Amino acid sequence: MFSVLFLSSCCIFTSQDCNCDSSDKDLSEAAQSWLAPYPEEELFIFEDTTGLLDTFVVTLSSEMVDCGGDECPAMCNVVTAKLASKTNNYSYSIVGENSFIRINVDTSLNASFSPESNKVIGNDHTTILFHDQFQWKGQSIHALEVKCPDGSNCSSNQEIQNLIISKDFGPIQFSTASGQKWEKTN
Protein backbone atom coordinates (compact mmCIF):
# COMPACT_ATOMS: atom_id res chain seq x y z
CA MET A 1 0.00 0.00 0.00
CA PHE A 2 2.79 2.41 0.91
CA SER A 3 4.65 1.87 -2.40
CA VAL A 4 1.49 2.46 -4.45
CA LEU A 5 0.87 5.70 -2.59
CA PHE A 6 4.48 6.75 -3.08
CA LEU A 7 4.48 6.03 -6.84
CA SER A 8 1.20 7.81 -7.48
CA SER A 9 2.27 10.91 -5.59
CA CYS A 10 5.68 11.54 -7.15
CA CYS A 11 4.72 15.09 -8.06
CA ILE A 12 3.38 16.19 -4.69
CA PHE A 13 6.23 18.56 -3.93
CA THR A 14 7.39 19.83 -7.34
CA SER A 15 6.80 18.99 -10.98
CA GLN A 16 10.55 18.40 -11.32
CA ASP A 17 10.13 15.30 -9.11
CA CYS A 18 8.46 13.61 -12.11
CA ASN A 19 10.89 14.99 -14.73
CA CYS A 20 8.09 17.12 -16.07
CA ASP A 21 8.66 20.12 -18.34
CA SER A 22 6.21 22.76 -17.12
CA SER A 23 7.54 25.56 -19.30
CA ASP A 24 5.06 27.35 -21.55
CA LYS A 25 4.67 25.84 -25.00
CA ASP A 26 4.61 27.73 -28.29
CA LEU A 27 3.43 26.34 -31.59
CA SER A 28 6.07 24.31 -33.37
CA GLU A 29 7.49 25.85 -36.54
CA ALA A 30 5.88 23.04 -38.56
CA ALA A 31 2.44 23.78 -37.09
CA GLN A 32 2.93 27.52 -37.62
CA SER A 33 3.69 26.90 -41.30
CA TRP A 34 0.20 25.38 -41.79
CA LEU A 35 -1.40 28.49 -40.24
CA ALA A 36 0.63 30.99 -42.30
CA PRO A 37 -1.99 31.30 -45.12
CA TYR A 38 -4.58 32.64 -42.63
CA PRO A 39 -3.82 36.27 -41.74
CA GLU A 40 -6.57 38.22 -39.96
CA GLU A 41 -9.39 39.31 -42.29
CA GLU A 42 -7.91 37.46 -45.28
CA LEU A 43 -10.49 36.77 -47.97
CA PHE A 44 -10.68 33.45 -49.79
CA ILE A 45 -12.89 33.47 -52.89
CA PHE A 46 -14.45 30.23 -54.14
CA GLU A 47 -16.39 29.39 -57.27
CA ASP A 48 -18.72 26.42 -57.64
CA THR A 49 -19.21 24.36 -60.79
CA THR A 50 -22.16 26.56 -61.89
CA GLY A 51 -20.17 29.82 -61.60
CA LEU A 52 -21.54 31.02 -58.24
CA LEU A 53 -19.02 32.88 -56.06
CA ASP A 54 -18.63 32.80 -52.29
CA THR A 55 -16.15 34.59 -50.05
CA PHE A 56 -14.76 33.28 -46.77
CA VAL A 57 -13.38 35.72 -44.18
CA VAL A 58 -10.68 34.75 -41.66
CA THR A 59 -10.97 35.64 -37.99
CA LEU A 60 -7.72 34.91 -36.17
CA SER A 61 -7.38 34.44 -32.42
CA SER A 62 -4.64 33.36 -30.05
CA GLU A 63 -4.89 32.35 -26.41
CA MET A 64 -2.87 30.64 -23.72
CA VAL A 65 -4.60 27.54 -22.31
CA ASP A 66 -3.68 25.03 -19.63
CA CYS A 67 -2.28 21.99 -21.42
CA GLY A 68 -0.10 20.22 -18.89
CA GLY A 69 -2.62 18.68 -16.53
CA ASP A 70 -2.58 18.69 -12.74
CA GLU A 71 0.79 17.02 -12.23
CA CYS A 72 2.72 18.95 -14.88
CA PRO A 73 1.13 22.39 -15.30
CA ALA A 74 2.04 24.32 -18.44
CA MET A 75 0.42 26.88 -20.68
CA CYS A 76 0.16 26.37 -24.45
CA ASN A 77 -0.35 28.97 -27.13
CA VAL A 78 -3.40 27.96 -29.20
CA VAL A 79 -3.95 29.79 -32.49
CA THR A 80 -7.32 29.51 -34.24
CA ALA A 81 -8.17 30.64 -37.76
CA LYS A 82 -11.96 30.58 -38.19
CA LEU A 83 -13.22 30.82 -41.75
CA ALA A 84 -16.83 31.82 -42.36
CA SER A 85 -18.73 32.28 -45.60
CA LYS A 86 -20.19 35.71 -46.27
CA THR A 87 -23.00 34.20 -48.38
CA ASN A 88 -23.77 30.67 -47.19
CA ASN A 89 -23.91 28.90 -43.85
CA TYR A 90 -20.42 27.40 -44.27
CA SER A 91 -17.65 27.66 -41.70
CA TYR A 92 -14.74 25.72 -40.28
CA SER A 93 -11.61 26.34 -38.26
CA ILE A 94 -7.94 25.44 -38.33
CA VAL A 95 -6.45 25.23 -34.83
CA GLY A 96 -2.76 25.01 -33.99
CA GLU A 97 -1.64 23.72 -30.59
CA ASN A 98 1.89 22.51 -29.77
CA SER A 99 2.88 20.42 -32.78
CA PHE A 100 -0.63 19.58 -34.03
CA ILE A 101 -3.10 21.11 -36.44
CA ARG A 102 -6.81 20.39 -35.96
CA ILE A 103 -9.42 20.90 -38.63
CA ASN A 104 -12.92 21.36 -37.18
CA VAL A 105 -16.03 21.64 -39.31
CA ASP A 106 -18.37 20.55 -36.53
CA THR A 107 -18.41 17.92 -33.82
CA SER A 108 -18.56 15.00 -36.25
CA LEU A 109 -16.21 16.18 -39.03
CA ASN A 110 -12.90 16.98 -37.36
CA ALA A 111 -9.38 15.65 -37.58
CA SER A 112 -5.83 16.24 -36.34
CA PHE A 113 -2.52 16.28 -38.14
CA SER A 114 1.08 16.34 -36.93
CA PRO A 115 3.19 18.13 -39.56
CA GLU A 116 6.39 16.83 -37.98
CA SER A 117 5.49 13.16 -38.39
CA ASN A 118 2.74 13.42 -41.06
CA LYS A 119 0.52 11.47 -38.65
CA VAL A 120 -3.22 11.91 -39.19
CA ILE A 121 -5.98 11.23 -36.66
CA GLY A 122 -9.64 11.06 -37.66
CA ASN A 123 -12.71 9.70 -35.90
CA ASP A 124 -15.66 7.42 -36.71
CA HIS A 125 -17.12 10.07 -39.03
CA THR A 126 -13.95 11.43 -40.58
CA THR A 127 -11.30 10.30 -43.00
CA ILE A 128 -8.16 12.45 -43.18
CA LEU A 129 -5.42 12.01 -45.75
CA PHE A 130 -2.08 13.80 -46.04
CA HIS A 131 -0.95 14.31 -49.66
CA ASP A 132 2.67 15.35 -50.13
CA GLN A 133 2.25 15.59 -53.93
CA PHE A 134 -1.32 16.90 -54.38
CA GLN A 135 -1.85 18.38 -57.86
CA TRP A 136 -3.60 21.74 -57.91
CA LYS A 137 -3.52 24.30 -60.74
CA GLY A 138 -0.40 22.73 -62.24
CA GLN A 139 1.51 22.65 -58.95
CA SER A 140 2.49 19.82 -56.67
CA ILE A 141 1.63 20.90 -53.11
CA HIS A 142 1.27 19.54 -49.56
CA ALA A 143 -2.41 19.15 -48.75
CA LEU A 144 -4.77 17.67 -46.17
CA GLU A 145 -8.07 16.17 -47.23
CA VAL A 146 -10.75 15.85 -44.55
CA LYS A 147 -14.00 14.17 -45.52
CA CYS A 148 -17.01 12.17 -44.50
CA PRO A 149 -16.49 8.76 -46.04
CA ASP A 150 -20.24 8.25 -46.04
CA GLY A 151 -22.56 11.26 -46.02
CA SER A 152 -24.97 9.49 -43.69
CA ASN A 153 -22.27 9.44 -40.98
CA CYS A 154 -22.00 13.23 -40.96
CA SER A 155 -24.23 15.39 -38.87
CA SER A 156 -27.41 16.54 -40.59
CA ASN A 157 -26.70 20.23 -39.94
CA GLN A 158 -23.23 20.09 -41.41
CA GLU A 159 -22.88 21.66 -44.83
CA ILE A 160 -19.22 20.96 -45.63
CA GLN A 161 -18.65 17.24 -46.27
CA ASN A 162 -15.19 17.33 -47.87
CA LEU A 163 -12.43 19.92 -47.38
CA ILE A 164 -8.94 20.18 -48.85
CA ILE A 165 -6.47 22.63 -47.36
CA SER A 166 -2.95 23.38 -48.53
CA LYS A 167 0.06 24.25 -46.43
CA ASP A 168 0.91 27.11 -48.81
CA PHE A 169 -2.49 28.34 -50.02
CA GLY A 170 -4.96 27.55 -47.23
CA PRO A 171 -8.33 26.15 -48.31
CA ILE A 172 -8.41 25.13 -51.96
CA GLN A 173 -11.48 22.93 -52.42
CA PHE A 174 -14.59 21.82 -50.59
CA SER A 175 -17.89 20.11 -51.34
CA THR A 176 -21.23 20.33 -49.57
CA ALA A 177 -23.93 17.90 -48.47
CA SER A 178 -25.99 18.92 -51.52
CA GLY A 179 -23.13 17.91 -53.84
CA GLN A 180 -21.89 21.41 -54.74
CA LYS A 181 -18.16 21.48 -55.44
CA TRP A 182 -16.24 24.69 -54.78
CA GLU A 183 -12.67 25.64 -55.73
CA LYS A 184 -10.53 28.57 -54.61
CA THR A 185 -10.07 31.23 -57.30
CA ASN A 186 -7.64 33.66 -55.62
Does the pLDDT at position 5 exceed 50?
no
How far is Cα 124 from Cα 109, in angstroms, rounded to an integer?
9
pLDDT tens per residue, range 15-48: 455 667 666 578 899 999 999 999 988 999 999 9
Residue 2 has pLDDT above 50, yes or no: no
Greater confidence, 45 or 120?
45
Residue 4 in this model has a pLDDT that exceeds 50: no
Q: What is the largest CA-CA distance in the chain?
A: 72
| Predicted local confidence at residue 18, as pLDDT | 62
